[in-house]
């Protein structure tokens, strides 16, 4: 007797498989971040040298962005995602074992290349799964990334305390995630292929350029909060290191919570309105932290910043993957290209502004960046804003 698989099982398995990809990236970043001090000591670099070495990551990312822009929509997204995830898992223990500057630079460049090679196809696949579900679920995939980061950081902390080398820790993590990846790989969805004769320029529609701009602003705001939350508490407010760590932790945990529950709210109020509200909450939270110079206000304010910004980028990626006349991968690739510079320039720009004036003034500029999202998102046109969906119109 042949057992016919229930149709609902297919999207559930695809959802689990795509979530594994997000967890792979998150756990690698978290585990690496926790062991950076050990690797830096092994290589023998100071603060300035370490900062320069990390430029290699950006070089790898730029190369990968160009390659993915050409291949996406023309090459099987399942294949691209699996290659990216596999390279991350193989490279992680090699990078963690670096004892020379040359080995470190190669490892960081490969990491940047693999991370961007994975990012676009896995988000495109997440859009395909969301289509199968017929409701917003994209933020839950990014919650998998956040949970992976927290888990990787925790594993790194425990491993460091137990005297386990960074290379051994990352090798163990890679082995475990590799087994999970192999077990779920066949359930990864593919995306629609583009016409090979069509040029890449057709992707840059006014709507996708607008979405890329929103993604840039969201990435800038997120990175500014992540990079400067602890420093604001310890430096500007003169609180201790524990308070600084707690401020960053409030931001991180609220982000995870938002990504776990944000899709449900987005489905109820409409995704455009949801993004507008989210950006406003983020701006209000950061403004509160800056206006009330107290550690408790900083923890609450940066927590609201994380809560508000957590689902903006996933929702924007969902819009990008649904653009008419383009494959999900093509739409997502444009937004990823817009998003990446936001992550890159946030920390140095805020640092330069803080050095010229002060950190409170610099972070006040981030409030304005978040508020600008509330304006731009109103120009996005989606099916939710058609006459058939009047209740979802902001």
Read off the pLDDT of residues 186-226 as tens digits, 9 standing for 90 and up: 999 876 665 554 556 677 889 999 999 999 999 999 988 88
Do 26 and 88 lie in one domain? The reply is yes
Confidence at residue 387, expressed as pLDDT on a 0 to 100 scale: 36
On whether the CB atoms of residues 312 and 373 are closer than 8 A, the answer is yes
| 1 domain residue, yes or no | no
Last residue of one domain, picked from the residues 135, 155, 187? 187
On whether the CB atoms of residues 239 and 294 are closer than 8 A, the answer is no
SS3 75: strand
The HSE-up count of residue 266 (CA atoms within 13 Å, CB side) is 30
Do 151 and 182 lie in one domain? The reply is yes
Confidence at residue 47, expressed as pLDDT on a 0 to 100 scale: 67
| 125 domain residue, yes or no | yes
pLDDT < 50: residue spans in the chain: 1-7, 197, 385-394
Q: Which residue range is the domain that position 358 belongs to?
A: 203-392
On whether the CB atoms of residues 309 and 218 are closer than 8 A, the answer is yes
Last residue of one domain, picked from the residues 156, 187, 218? 187
Do 166 and 273 lie in one domain? The reply is no
Do 59 and 177 lie in one domain? The reply is yes
| 154 domain residue, yes or no | yes
- How many structural domains are present in the chain? 2
| 3 domain residue, yes or no | no
On whether the CB atoms of residues 258 and 310 are closer than 8 A, the answer is yes
CB atoms within 10 A of CB 100: 11
SS3 192: coil
CA distance 84 to 25: 9
| 161 domain residue, yes or no | yes
Do 40 and 151 lie in one domain? The reply is yes
Confidence at residue 295, expressed as pLDDT on a 0 to 100 scale: 92
The residues, any chain, with a CB within 8 Å of residue 20's CB and separated by 6 or more, are 144, 177, 180, 181, 184
CA distance 353 to 330: 35
On whether the CB atoms of residues 256 and 290 are closer than 8 A, the answer is no
| 192 domain residue, yes or no | no
Name the strand (E) or helix (H) holding 235: none
Last residue of one domain, picked from the residues 187, 211, 240? 187
CB atoms within 10 A of CB 219: 24
| 195 domain residue, yes or no | no
Do 86 and 115 lie in one domain? The reply is yes
Do 240 and 117 lie in one domain? The reply is no
Structure tokens at 140: 């839950």
Do 179 and 215 lie in one domain? The reply is no
Do 213 and 291 lie in one domain? The reply is yes
| 198 domain residue, yes or no | no
Confidence at residue 36, expressed as pLDDT on a 0 to 100 scale: 81
CATH of the domain at 126: 1.20.1250.20
Do 148 and 98 lie in one domain? The reply is yes
Confidence at residue 301, expressed as pLDDT on a 0 to 100 scale: 96
On whether the CB atoms of residues 310 and 184 are closer than 8 A, the answer is no
Do 244 and 357 lie in one domain? The reply is yes
């Amino acid at each position: 007797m042949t057992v016919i698989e229930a149709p609902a099982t297919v999207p559930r398995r695809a959802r689990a498989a795509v979530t594994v990809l997000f967890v792979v990236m998150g756990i690698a970043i978290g585990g690496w971040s926790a062991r950076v001090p050990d690797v830096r000591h092994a290589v023998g670099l100071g603060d300035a040298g370490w900062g320069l070495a990390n430029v290699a990551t950006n070089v790898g990312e730029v190369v990968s962005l160009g390659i993915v822009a050409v291949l996406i929509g023309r090459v099987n997204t399942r294949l691209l995602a699996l290659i990216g995830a596999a390279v991350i898992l193989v490279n992680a223990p090699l990078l963690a074992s670096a004892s020379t500057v040359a080995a470190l630079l190669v490892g960081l460049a490969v990491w940047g290349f693999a991370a961007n090679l994975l990012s676009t196809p896995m988000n495109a696949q997440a859009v395909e799964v969301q289509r199968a579900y017929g409701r917003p679920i994209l933020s839950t995939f990014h919650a998998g990334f956040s949970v992976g980061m927290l888990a990787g950081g925790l594993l790194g902390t425990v491993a460091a305390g137990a005297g386990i080398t960074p290379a051994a820790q990352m090798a163990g993590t890679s082995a475990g995630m590799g087994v999970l990846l192999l077990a779920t790989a066949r359930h990864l969805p593919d995306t629609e292929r583009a016409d090979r004769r069509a040029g890449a320029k057709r992707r840059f529609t006014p709507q996708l350029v607008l979405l890329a701009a929103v993604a840039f602003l969201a990435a800038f705001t997120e990175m500014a909060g992540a990079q400067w939350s602890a420093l604001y508490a310890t430096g500007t407010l003169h609180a201790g290191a524990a308070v600084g760590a707690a401020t960053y932790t409030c931001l991180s945990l609220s982000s995870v919570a938002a990504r776990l529950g944000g899709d449900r709210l987005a489905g109820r109020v409409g995704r455009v309105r949801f993004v507008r509200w989210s950006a406003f909450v983020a701006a209000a939270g950061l403004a509160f932290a800056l206006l009330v110079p107290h550690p408790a206000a900083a923890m609450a304010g940066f927590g609201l910043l994380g809560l508000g910004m957590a689902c903006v980028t996933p929702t924007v990626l969902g819009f990008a993957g649904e653009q008419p006349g383009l494959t999900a991968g093509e739409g997502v690739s444009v937004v990823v290209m817009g998003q990446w510079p936001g992550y890159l320039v946030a920390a140095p720009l805020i640092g330069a502004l803080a050095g010229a004036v002060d950190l409170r003034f610099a972070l006040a500029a981030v409030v304005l960046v978040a508020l600008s999202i509330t304006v731009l998102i109103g120009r996005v046109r989606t099916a939710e804003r058609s006459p058939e969906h009047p209740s979802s119109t902001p």
